[in-house]
Structure 1
Amino acid sequence: MKHQEKPPEENLTELIEFVLLDFAEVPHLQWLLFGFFLVIYIIIVMSNGLIFLITKLDPALQTPMYFFLGNFSFLEICYVSVSLPRMLMNLWTQRRTISLVACATQMCCILVLGATECFLLAVMAYDRYMAICKPLHYPLVMNHKVCIQLVAGSWISGIPVQIGQTFQIFSLPFCGSNLIDHFFCDIPPILMLACGDTFVNEMMVYLAAVLIVMVPFLLILISYGKIISTVLKLPSATSQARAFSTCSSHLMVVALFFGSAIITYLRPKTSPSAGIDKVLSLFYTIVTPLFNPLIYSLRNKEVIKALRKLLCK
C-alpha cells in the first residue's frame, strides 16, 4: 500500500456511513449482474453444501482428508455469505449505503474467515504430508481428536488478530469522501478514506498478512516439497500418479486463494488500483468457493461415488 498523508481532520465532518460503489460504473448491467451473481451464490451454497453433507454421511469418507474437506466446504459457504448477499441487495435496491458498524462487522468477518482458510489449507497440506511421507505413523498421529483440535485451532487462531486489526482501522477518523470503490468493506479501500497519517496502520496490515497469509503458505510449500521428494522415490509410476492425484486438487485451490490474496495485500501500491483489487478480491471471495467443489469432486473418484449414492437416494 502506498503511504500517503491524508487531509487534516479539522473542519471536516466525521463519517457515519459509507457507499459501496461495487459495479456502479456500469448502471445498464445492474440486473444482468444481479442474476449472474445470484446464480453463482446458489451454486456455491448448494455444491459446497453437498460436499459437506457427503463427508458427514458417507461411511467411506470418514477419514481425516474428507473431514478437513467437509470443514473447508462449510467455511466456503460462510465466507461467500459475508460479501455476496450484501452485493446482491445493493444491485437489487440500488441503495449502496452501509453503516460504519456494519462495514466494520463485514470486514472483521471476512478477515477472520480468510485467516481460517489460510490455516485450514495449511492443515490439509500437513495431512497429505503425513499420509504420503509417514504412512505408518498416519493413523496414530492424525486421529479424530487431533483432527478436531487442528480444525478448531484454524477457526480460532485468527480471531484475536483480525478483531484487533479491524478495531485499529475503524478507530481512525473518516472524513471527506465516503465512497468505497469496492463490492465489500476491504482493508485497502477503507484505509484510502481515513484522515491523517495511516503509515502505522498500513505496516500492521503488512505484518498481519505476513503472519496469517505467508507463514501458512510457506508451510504448505515445505509440505509439498517433502511430498514431491517422497513421491518421486516411489517404485511404480502408478503409485506416483495416485499420490500426485490426491494432492493436485488441494494445490489448485491453494494457488487460486493464496495467489490472489498475496497480490492484494502484499504488493506495493505505487498507483491507484481499485479495479485490480476488485478483480483479485473476486478470486479469493467468489472464484475459489465456486471451483472448490468442482476441483475436489471431478478429480476424486470417492467423492463422485458418494455423490451418486446420495443423489440416487
Structure 2
Amino acid sequence: MDIKNLNFSPNAHILVTGGGGFIGSNLSEALLKNGNKVRCLDNFATGRRENIEACLKNENYTLIEGDIRNLEDCKKACEGVDYVLHQAALGSVPRSINDPITSNAVNVSGFLNMLVAARDAKVKRFVYAASSSTYGDSKSMPKVEDIIGKPLSPYAITKYVNELYADVFSKTYGLETIGLRYFNVFGRKQDPNGAYAAVIPKFVMQLMQHESPVINGDGSYSRDFTYIDNVIEMNVRALLTQNKEALNTVYNVAYGERTDLNELTALLKEYLSAYDAAIANIAIVNGPERQGDVPHSLASIEKAKNLLGYNPSYDIKKGLKEAVDWYWEHLK
C-alpha cells in the first residue's frame, strides 16, 4: 500500500516488533516506501527471513534479532525511535490451548517489557496489535469496542490483558497508546504452512495442490476477513492522528462485512480456477468444529471512521483476488 496519500512524514523513525511476520513485514515495506527509517525486532520464532529480503536491501532498514521476553532486547530496539508498531506475538487460538504458558510469556510478559522500554525511551506513541478474540462469548453483533464478553481461549486472555496494561501505562505514565483489534487479516506473505496456518493461505495452498480443504464445522461460521492494506492504513492513521480523543483507546480493524467459510472457499475456487481450471471441481470436506472458535465475527468500524478517518478500500473480493494473484506468483 502507498501511504504517501495519508501524509505520513518520511522523517519518522519507527520500530516494528515482529517485523519478520506477515503483518510486520508488510508494514515495514510500506513505511520504507514512504521514506521512513524502520527498525525490526524479531526472533523469527514465527516470522520468516524471506519476508524481509527486500527490506534488508534498504539503507533505512535495521534488523535487531532479539526476543521481546528479554527486556534488554526491547530497550535496545526502542532506543532513538519515534514510534513503536508492536506486532510481535504468538498468534493462534489452538496454539494457546496447546501451550498456554508460552503464549502468556510472549504475549503478556513480552508486551509489558515493550511498554516499559517504550516508556523509558520516551517514544511518541505505542500502537499495538490487539485482537477480535477479545470479544469472546459476547453475543452482540456487530462487535462494538466497549462491549466484550468472557475470553474463550488463553490467546484471547493475553490480548485482553494487553489492552488493560496499555490503558494503565497511558494513565499512569502518560504513554500514548492505541490498540488495533485485528479481524482475520489476510494477504500477501501470510504463511500457508504449519499446524497453525490461517485459513485463507492454507486453503489456497491446498487447492493449488489439488487437495480438498477441510472446513471446521458445516461452513456456516463467518468472519470479517480483512485485507492487509486496510490494516496498514489503520496503523498509519493511528500514528498520524492529532485528535486527543482518538488516543489511549482501542479500535476494530476490519472491513465491516462478514463472509462464511462456504462463501470463502467458493470465491477461492473461482479465483484460482482462472489459473488452473481443474481447481473448480475440487471437493470441500467438512470436519469437526474447532475448540475455542467463535461462531460469528463482524466488526463495527464506526469508531475508527469517526475518530481516525478510516476508510477501508479492500472488501473481501478485491482483497482475495490480490491475495490469490500473489500466492499463485510466489508459491506455484
Shorter-chain TM-score tier: under 0.3
User: Which structure is larger by alpha-carbon Rg, 1 or 2?
Assistant: 1
From the two aligned structures, give the one with the greater helix fraction.
1
From the two aligned structures, give the one with the greater strand fraction.
2
Provide the TM-score with structure 1 as the length reference: 0.27
> Which structure exhibits the higher relative contact order, with contacts defined as CA atoms closer than 8 Å and separated by 6 or more residues?
1
